[in-house]
Structure 1
Amino acid sequence: MKEGPDIALVASLIGDPARANMLTAMMNGKAYTATELAAEGGISPQTASTHLKKLESGGLIRQRKQGRHRYFSLAGPQVGVALEALMGLAAEQGHTRTRTGPKDPALRKARVCYDHLAGELAVMLFDGWLETGLLQQDDEDSVSVTPKGDAFFRTVGLDMDGLIGARRPVCKSCLDWSMRRTHLAGGLGRAVLDHVYRNGWARRVDGTRAVQFTAQGEKAFRHSLLPLV
């Protein structure tokens, strides 16, 4: 037997169509009941319960109890990053589902990727911060905040001390499935999305991962977070 991480086990958990649909639904960072996830997976509640047990046992989701209800969500941001990367790979190889509709352009422009912003606007933001020296690319998969960036983010109103003191990485690159380029994950990525919501620039569209900016909100987003671009 080969030593090392068992990617076959993780792949088998994600690879089932019903489980893949349920995991994709949880990409918006919300917690769902088994009944809700059964509807997402297109399966019966009994079958969904079996799938959820497998996903929880495999460490991909976690369960929380509140009163008589049980809620399920992704086990952490690293699961969301992995799913987003797989979506990018599938799209690049032409493995797409036939479900299309008016929400597709909105999803491509801006959406939630677990707890951070993804899509066209997120990639634009990441590129802009690299171009202006607020972030630096340490290697292909690693990115960090520069002193210039630290000062800028504090001026914007982001809690850099809290991000630096947290156990979670401040910055983490994440492959965007629709743009097939990098957007920002990690603590700073989450802080940016919270900043967007807090300022009322955008809201998440019910029943989807799409993040809808108002006209003024998108203008403020660009002006406030990309003042040098």
Structure 2
Amino acid sequence: MNEPIRVLLVDDQQLIRVGFRLVLEAEPDLEVVGEAADGDEAITAAAALSPDVVLMDIRMPGTDGIAATRAIVRAHPGTRVLVLTTFDLDEYAFGALDAGAGGFLLKDAERAELTAAIRAVHRGDAVLAPPVTRRLIERLHAGPPPAAETDVDPTGDLTDRERDVFIAIAQGLNNAEIARHLFLSESTVKTHVGRVLAKLGARDRVHAVILAHRHRLVDSSAPPPARLGDRSTA
């Protein structure tokens, strides 16, 4: 049996932490190894407990979730951070992504969505709540990219297949969905994803998504390829 995913809960509201703990401890593959009430406690706990995933609130007194995320990711590259946001706190979510978070989720997410997101972040997938993702993409497409970014094509070193994988990542597809869309095995996709991230200098899939949209490599108005479970055959 695989080792459970070790999770650190960070939120300044104790009742929220209790609720998350009850949800996560009901899952056999998830283990809550600690809690923190603010960013400073989170940084200390991450160093002491070496969690696999930190479930990070953003708006907290003192050191907020953005600063804590930046410190944890810098000091512990193997620890993934999943930040929590609400519709009116998009700026915080964007800041957390820039700080190195592996994704963001809305605080009112359903139980299954929360547990699936933790597992996805742990295995290296990007977790981007759709309503906030749309606003992130709109923000990235709102104006011309900085001149320094328009001069360099980030896909210049990618092979044609790697570029296909890069665009699929940018459209929010996970490895299984990319494999289905490109008619590849999941192991082959995993290899391509690793090469794409390395060549782009992207720290993770979320960073790759941001790079793709920042450089206008994805049409924000176009629908993504058919995903697993879709009935459309187009």
TM-score range normalised by the length of the shorter chain: under 0.3
Structure of higher RCO (CA pairs closer than 8 Å, 6+ residues apart):
1
Q: TM-score, normalised to structure 2's length? A: 0.26
| Structure (1 or 2) with the greater strand fraction | 1
